[in-house]
């Protein structure tokens, strides 16, 4: 029987960051990570394999990120966890006992059971398996008409990469707009305009009923009865937490299918943690169970688990998912942090909205200037910022992180009005019209019109 102090199951970002943070926090302990993939890829980089990168090798994560800091690595599949005796067994016949266990088994692409034809040749999911992706990339070379089912982030990003290869690409999205679950309407309308200008066909407000073909896919049947020809179908209909192992072992699973954890990322069992896409998430603001899976959130949870493995720290806890997303289509960045207007209303907040469109360089005559739009969602009574959305240039990713940090600090509109920023012609909006502050000023005025 092999023995380790800390065993981590899963080699994605959550597993890696738990292992590395844990080893750094407790250097005297043995850390062992078991994962089934020979080689892992950066999950957020996967869509870019199809175009910008051109190969999954360029998205591969080197094992030295683990072995460098002294974490052991075994390629194998853990098939059972004995919670009581603290032993895992693998498909390869290994038994390994542990003091602490971290479950970081991630998520798997969702394919609805009712969807006929999903087993046909040239029907793909966006798996996180490098071997699968390599095969998919190879096959796509020879297929012209590609239909993506599901216009969330992954579906949009993959489609935008594939269209660069000269393919005929259509996104089918059941919501009225692509990215409609993440952003409010104005933002998604802009995203749709850009996608169309880049040659992507959009079919929104309509679902898929069936995938048709013999052996190979030939077309899809939409919920309105229409048929769309297709040489390839990419199913990007979301991901499910990969909790088969945890369920079998008897861990508590929440109503959305995630392994239940507390603020230290501890499961119901002493010494056993869960992090990343398989672990329960609660929304930072509403405290409701959340299904949002992000590598960035996963690594935040992983750092917290890693630090709390042997010694709890009351200040290093996970306060709930803020849901900070960003993406880029061409030169345009889209970002969101916290609640959208729609979600805040559904949750019953009395909210005030403000938005401002400015520029991301100044003066606006500078080459490469991009418009920058910021929308904020604020709770009327307290003035606390609940969410924000950004359309801008390449700085959108960090700008939405500023809004995320304001949410994390539970900042109010007043404190944004007195916020100090650095500005520079080539790097930011002008100091006179920094859209984040301007949007806050508009809200302050609405809350208190008398000044």
Site for a copy of itself in 269-308 (CB under 8 A): 284, 294-300, 303-304, 307
In the three-class reduction of DSSP (H, G, I as helix; E, B as strand; rest coil), residue 206 is classed as coil
What does the angle CA 79 – CA 84 – CA 88 come to, to the nearest 5 degrees? 25
Q: Does 411 bind a copy of itself (CB under 8 A)?
A: yes
Nearer to a copy of itself, 85 or 418 (CB): 418
Q: Does residue 400 interact with a copy of itself by CB under 8 A? A: yes
Pick between residue 79 and residue 441 the one whose CB is nearest to a copy of itself.
Answer: 441
Total residues at interface with a copy of itself (CB under 8 A): 91
> Residue by residue, what is the 3-state secondary structure of 234-294?
EECCCEEECCHHHHHHCCCECCCCCECCCCCCECCCCCEEECHHHECEEECCCCCEECCCC
Q: Which residue is associated with the tokens 């937490």?
A: 241
Cα–Cα distance, 332 to 346 (Å, whole number): 29
371 near a copy of itself, judged by CB under 8 A: no
Report the distance separating Cα 304 and Cα 108, nearest Å.
Answer: 23
Residues 326-355 that bind a copy of itself (CB under 8 A): 326-328, 333, 335, 337
Binder of a copy of itself out of 396, 435, 439, 443 (CB under 8 A): 396
Min dist CB 288 to a copy of itself, Å, is 17
Nearest CB to a copy of itself, comparing residues 31 and 318: 318
For 58, the 3-state DSSP assignment is helix
Please identify which residue in the block is written with the tokens 């939405």: 400
**∠ Cα 319 46 111 (to 5°):** 80
In the complex, the smallest distance separating the C-beta of residue 91 from a copy of itself, rounded to whole angstroms, is 27
Minimum Å gap between C-beta 113 and a copy of itself is: 32
Bond before 212 cis per omega within 30 degrees: no
Q: Select from 83-91, 197-205, 349-357, 433-441 the region that touches a copy of itself (CB under 8 A).
A: 433-441
DSSP secondary structure of 308-337: HSSS--TTS----B---EEEEETTEEEEEE
Among the listed residues 39, 6, 37, 42, the one whose alpha carbon sits nearest the alpha carbon of residue 299: 42
| Residue of 58, 164, 196, 380 interacting with a copy of itself (CB under 8 A) | 58
| β-strand pairing of 87-90 with 239-241 | unpaired
Per CB under 8 A, does 397 bind a copy of itself? yes
| Stretch of 91-99, 168-176, 198-206, 427-435 lying at the interface with a copy of itself (CB under 8 A) | 427-435
The CB-of-126 to a copy of itself minimum distance in angstroms stands at 14
Q: Is 418 in the site for a copy of itself (CB under 8 A)?
A: yes
DSSP 116: B
The position carrying tokens 């360029």 is: 58
Q: Give the per-residue contact string, 136-175, with a copy of itself (x = CB under 8 A; - = no).
A: ----------------------------------------
Least gap, CB of 425 to a copy of itself (angstroms): 5
Considering only 58-66, 184-192, 240-248, 345-353, which stretch makes contact with a copy of itself by CB under 8 A? Answer: 58-66
- The footprint of a copy of itself on residues 220-239 (CB under 8 A) is none
98 binding a copy of itself? (CB under 8 A):
no
CB-based contact 292:281 (threshold 8 Å): yes
Q: Does 252 bind a copy of itself (CB under 8 A)?
A: no
């Amino acid at each position: 029987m092999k023995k380790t102090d800390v065993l981590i199951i899963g080699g994605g970002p959550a597993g890696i960051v738990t292992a590395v943070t844990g080893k750094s926090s407790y250097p005297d302990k043995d850390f062992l990570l078991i994962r089934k993939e020979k080689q892992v890829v950066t999950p957020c980089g996967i869509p870019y394999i199809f175009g910008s990168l051109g190969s999954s090798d360029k998205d591969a994560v080197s094992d030295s990120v683990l072995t460098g800091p002294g974490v052991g690595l075994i390629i194998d599949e853990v098939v059972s966890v004995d919670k009581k005796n603290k032993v895992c067994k693998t498909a390869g016949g290994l038994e390994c006992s542990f003091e602490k266990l971290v479950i970081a088994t991630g998520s798997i692409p969702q394919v609805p059971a009712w969807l006929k034809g999903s087993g046909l040749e040239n029907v793909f999911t966006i798996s996180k398996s490098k071997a699968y992706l390599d095969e998919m990339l190879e096959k796509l070379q020879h297929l012209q008409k590609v239909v993506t089912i599901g216009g969330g982030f992954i579906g949009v990003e993959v489609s935008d990469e594939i269209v660069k290869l000269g393919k005929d690409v259509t996104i089918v999205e059941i919501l009225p707009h692509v990215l409609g679950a993440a952003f409010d309407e104005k933002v998604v309308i802009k995203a749709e305009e850009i996608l169309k200008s880049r040659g992507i066909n959009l079919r929104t407000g309509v679902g898929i009923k069936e995938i048709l073909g013999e052996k190979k896919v030939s077309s899809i049947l939409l919920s309105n009865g229409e048929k769309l020809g297709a040489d390839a179908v990419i199913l990007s209909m979301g991901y499910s937490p990969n909790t088969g192992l945890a369920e079998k072992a008897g861990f508590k699973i929440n109503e959305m299918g995630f392994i239940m954890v507390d603020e230290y990322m501890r499961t119901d069992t002493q010494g056993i943690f869960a992090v990343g896409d398989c672990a329960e998430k609660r929304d930072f603001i509403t405290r409701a169970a959340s299904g949002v899976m992000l590598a960035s959130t996963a690594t935040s949870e992983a750092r917290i688990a890693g630090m709390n493995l042997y010694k709890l720290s009351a200040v290093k806890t996970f306060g709930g998912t803020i849901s900070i997303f960003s993406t880029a289509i061409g030169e345009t960045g889209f970002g969101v942090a916290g609640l959208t207007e729609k979600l805040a209303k559904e949750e019953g907040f009395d909210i005030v909205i403000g938005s401002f469109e400015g520029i991301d360089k100044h003066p606006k005559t500078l080459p490469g200037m991009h418009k920058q739009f910021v929308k904020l969602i604020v709770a009327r009574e307290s003035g606390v910022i609940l969410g924000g959305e950004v359309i801008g240039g390449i700085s959108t990713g960090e700008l939405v992180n500023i809004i995320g940090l304001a949410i994390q600090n539970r900042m109010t509109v007043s404190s944004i009005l007195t916020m100090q920023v650095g500005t520079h012609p080539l790097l930011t909006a002008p100091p006179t019209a920094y859209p984040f502050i301007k949007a806050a000023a508009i809200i302050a005025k609405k809350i208190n019109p008398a000044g």
